[in-house]
Amino acid sequence: MQTLSEDQLVGHVLGQYRIERLVGKGRLNIVYLARHQVAQRVDALALYPMPTHFSNEARTFFLQRFHKEAALITSLHHPHILPVYEHGEILGYPYLITPYTTNGSLADIVKHQGRCDHTFVTTILHQIVDGLAYAHGKGFIHGTLKPSNIVIYDDENVQVAGFGLMHILQRAGVDQTPMPNAHLFSIADTFLASPEYVAPEIVQGQSVDQRSDIYALGCILYELLSGKPPFTGNNPLEVAQMHVNQNFTPLRKLCPEIPVALGSVISQALTRDPDGRFQSVRELGEAFTQASIGATQTLPAVHMSQVSKAPAAPAVPFQAAPRISTATGSWQLVPPIVTGHLPAIKTTKTGLVVPADRNTASTPRASQPATGLTQAASLGRKSQALGSSPVQPTLPPIAPQQPPVMPQQKAAPAPAPTKRQLADEDIVQLPPPG
């Protein structure tokens, strides 16, 4: 068995795509810039390596599951869902091709702004709700929703990314190595869902449905309005358990200026029992909108898109896949970084809120000029980009003597977007194409 470094994939051709360069490596995948040679469109190819200790049986099972789920998510076509154009294998490793973007995500906006005004959040929420309602109506559950999965399309629009990753990357069904709470982890020993946004039923290994996404969206709304998630901590597993065992601090206790009605909407979305939550994302969106309009008399009514209400998606067992044996191996847990944000105190013209200074929380920071979504996210990513150095590890062994030009995997066609968007949130922040 030979070992392949990431750079060796540069120059390979897959159907109508040519891999041009490596742009980054994350916890779960390696991302390349790939050019569609007919459309001359630059997209992102995300490669998903498998652990080196996987047996042949485990690799086969993982690849079959990967392509089954990937074929399903390529069928999602909605203006507020990040599309997956194609899927396939290169030299034995599975990949997804998605639009390429450098605009960032809601996580970058929260990092820079600290808090957001509820009128701004309402505008963003409409788009998230539209995308999720469309997916739920087709039987898809996201399962790993978080701010970094809400990617910025342009200055006025967002898209939901990461559909299918919960099923594609879950450890359950692939590996039998003993590990506590294995249902919460990916094949790379990272959390499938960020612990700050995971629904209690997911933590407990119970069946999930669209109400699990509603809970995660409630956590996101809580963070956008307060500057931090409902639960934070240094131990990711402990943070996940907080959703089951602890009560979150009421939103208005952190931010008394937030309207009572909005606080009630968030509290209902974060109800521990799924039956007590909103039963569809549209119910949540409409309740939040009405509470926001009622709190701001000058705010014009913003109507949701005229899309028929999505039927309830069926419950999906979180560990539905059968488990199979693999070769023995030991994995090291790489927990996600858990961060919080200070309260914010000043609203800008755009509806975004400026965070208080770290050492003087009672002193307002200087007002900042109005910014669009892309600029706000860019400011949030500046400090993260400075000082970072590229990592050049090698991939696990692969089967030798594979030709550099491979046939393209069959996939459902997807329309080309008018703008480039983020490939896979959780993994890497992509630099501009060179």
Q: Which domains does the chain have, with CATH numbers?
A: 56-83+102-296 (1.10.510.10)
The radius of gyration of the chain's CA atoms, rounded to the nearest angstrom, is: 21
Query: What's the pTM value of the predicted model, to 2 decimals?
Result: 0.72
DSSP 374-400: HHHHHHHHHHHHTT------EEEEE-S
Per-residue tokens: 96: 């997804």
Task: Average the pLDDT over 47-52 and give the result.
Answer: 89
Task: Average the pLDDT over 237-256 and give the result.
Answer: 94
Percent of the chain, pLDDT > 70?
66
Choice between 272 and 417, residue whose per-residue pLDDT is larger = 272
Instruction: Please give the pLDDT value at position 326.
Output: 33
Provide φ and ψ at 35, rounded to 5°. -110, 130
Helix (H, G, I), strand (E, B) or coil at 236: helix
Instruction: Please give the pLDDT value at position 185.
Output: 86
Task: Average the pLDDT over 32-57 and give the result.
Answer: 91
Instruction: Please give the pLDDT value at position 4.
Output: 58
CA 65, 70, 72, 77: dihedral to nearest 10 degrees?
170
Instruction: Please give the pLDDT value at position 296.
Output: 57
Report residue 295's pLDDT band, with 50, 70 and 90 as the boundaries.
Answer: low
Amino acid at 291: A
Instruction: Please give the pLDDT value at position 380.
Output: 62
Instruction: Please give the pLDDT value at position 303.
Output: 37
